[in-house]
Amino acid sequence: MLMQTKPNLTLSREDFPTDFTWGVATSSFQIEGATHTDGRGASVWDTFCEQPGAIADGSNGSIACDHYHRYEEDLDLMARLGVNAYRFSMSWPRVQPDGRGAWNEAGFAFYERLIQGLLQRGIQVHITLNHWDMPQALQEAGGWANRETCGYFVAYALEVARRFGRYTQSLCTHNEPWVIAVLGHELGVFAPGLKSRKTAMLVSHHLLLSHGMAVKAIREAGIKLELGIVLNLSPIYPASDSEADMQKAKIDDGLNARWYLDPLCYGRYPEDVLSHLGDDAPTFSPEDMATIAQPMDFVGVNYYTRNFSSSGNPWDVNSTGNEVTDMGWEVYPEGLTELLCRLHQEYGIQCLRVTENGAAFKDEMVDGQIDDERRESYLREHIRATHDAMAQGVPVDAYFAWSLMDNFEWASGYEKRFGLIHVDYPSLKRTPKRSAKWYQQFLKA
């Protein structure tokens, strides 16, 4: 179906292929709560939240949205939205408290209830195995900096695929390896809070390697389901046309995007980044690189904004005058179109999914309603940007809004709200916002 761009006209669901997947996304640590319930082990984020000053509002994930107990209500909310897919993550320490050895049947039973609830409502199951909350017990044995963790991850991935593969549309190995490596191990602003670029780059290698090992193992086990990875990709632009800024933008793009896309798609690290890293580059073998480059059924893209690089400040957001969200991220839907086109043209990716897209804005409840027009507009503009890429022949087959509901926004705690559905803390009352009603209407049409 050749799709035509529809400049300035309101897009409707009919402007997309009938089999296009429309979903919402969440992650385990951000919504489940019940961190000490039914045998769940500690994750690195439970430990990180206890570090003084780590979380802006001093909160943690012990309750979050209490999705662990309220999942039926949340499933009904998804069904009322009219989505046909739900992207969520499995808490590794909930099903394997130590990250190796014994499985926790009560943990698997929760995900069984959740998955059956989705299927009963005609909602596709899209699971992420690692959305950052790896078992603390493994961290104490070196975590992702320890190559043995790759093997433990494969055992976990195989167990999940064996138990749930028949019900699952797609299985993503890692959500945003760059965030785990750089924010978690170089800048230390995310769990586990380490500050070593050399460690961060070794972690990124082990995340990519464990991805390839898991994909290979699941395929060799003959378990049929779509396998892929999810990357956070922000197109990076030079803050000016000076040579210094152009060079900075190139290496920042290298560190954020090409360091992951080149091995996954071409089986090699980018030479310019390797030389930029020098002794901080990880050691790796040709066998490692061949393992990483397992063919994938999809690549998920989490898109929020673009970034600018200036030789002075590597993450300087250029003052473009465009609207910014409550995270300080510029609203730039064109960046999503450019990114999707690049991924198809430069990397030949044959199945792309927008696995996260959304915005935090300060929500105000007035007479029991939240009139989040800016979030509605953000979603509408980025759905259009997705359509614009598809009209240029880019193979995108899904869009997941981030997020189903307000939740624990990592180091920002509960201060930043991304949900289509408002969560009142601590009553935990769910209230669909204007954006949820818009998405519902869009999906009904």
Which tokens go with 429?
């009352």
Tell me the C-alpha distance between 75 and 408, whole Å. 19
Return the number of the residue (186 or 356) whose C-beta is nearest ligand GCO. 356
Residue showing the smallest CB distance to ligand GCO in the complex: 302
Distance in Å, CB of 317 to ligand GCO, minimum: 15
Distance in Å, CB of 119 to ligand GCO, minimum: 24
Residue 356 interacts with ligand GCO (CB under 6 A): yes or no: yes
Decide: 62 and 30 in contact? Cβ < 8 Å: no
Q: What share of the chain is helix, strand, coil (3-state, %, to 5)?
A: 45, 15, 40
Distance in Å, CB of 418 to ligand GCO, minimum: 6
DSSP E strands: which ranges in 26-163?
85-89, 124-130
Q: How many CA atoms lie within 13 A of 16 on its CB side?
A: 24
Helices (H), 234-282: 243-253, 259-266, 271-277
Distance in Å, CB of 213 to ligand GCO, minimum: 22
Residue 186 interacts with ligand GCO (CB under 6 A): yes or no: no
Among residues 66, 133, 176, 326, the one that binds ligand GCO under rule CB under 6 A: 176
- 135 phi/psi in degrees, rounded to 5: -60, 135
The residues, any chain, with a CB within 8 Å of residue 140's CB and separated by 6 or more, are none
Q: How many CA atoms lie within 13 A of 294 on its CB side?
A: 24
Which tokens go with 295?
């063919």
Provide the mask over 227-256, with x wherever binding to ligand GCO is found by CB under 6 A and - wherever it is not. -----x------------------------
Residue 175 interacts with ligand GCO (CB under 6 A): yes or no: yes
- Within residues 363-382, the interface with ligand GCO by CB under 6 A covers none
Residue 386 interacts with ligand GCO (CB under 6 A): yes or no: no
Looking at the chain, the number of H-run helices and the number of E-run strands are 16, 14
Residue 357 interacts with ligand GCO (CB under 6 A): yes or no: no
Task: Produce one character per residue of 354-378: b if its CB has 16 or more CB atoms within 10 Å, e if not.
Answer: bbbbbbbbebeeeeeebebebbbbb
Active-site positions read 176, 356
Residue 21 interacts with ligand GCO (CB under 6 A): yes or no: no
Distance in Å, CB of 412 to ligand GCO, minimum: 8
Return the number of the residue (284 or 418) whose C-beta is nearest ligand GCO. 418
Return the number of the residue (96 or 175) whose C-beta is nearest ligand GCO. 175
- 430 phi/psi in degrees, rounded to 5: -95, 135
Residue 402 interacts with ligand GCO (CB under 6 A): yes or no: yes
Provide the mask over 406-445, with x wherever binding to ligand GCO is found by CB under 6 A and - wherever it is not. ---x--------x---------------------------
Return the number of the residue (103 or 329) whose C-beta is nearest ligand GCO. 329
Could you give the angle at the alpha carbon of 28 between the alpha carbons of 54 and 352, nearest 5°? 105
Provide the mask over 279-308, with x wherever binding to ligand GCO is found by CB under 6 A and - wherever it is not. -----------------------x------
Interface residues with ligand GCO (CB under 6 A) are 27, 30, 175-176, 179, 232, 302, 356, 402, 409, 418
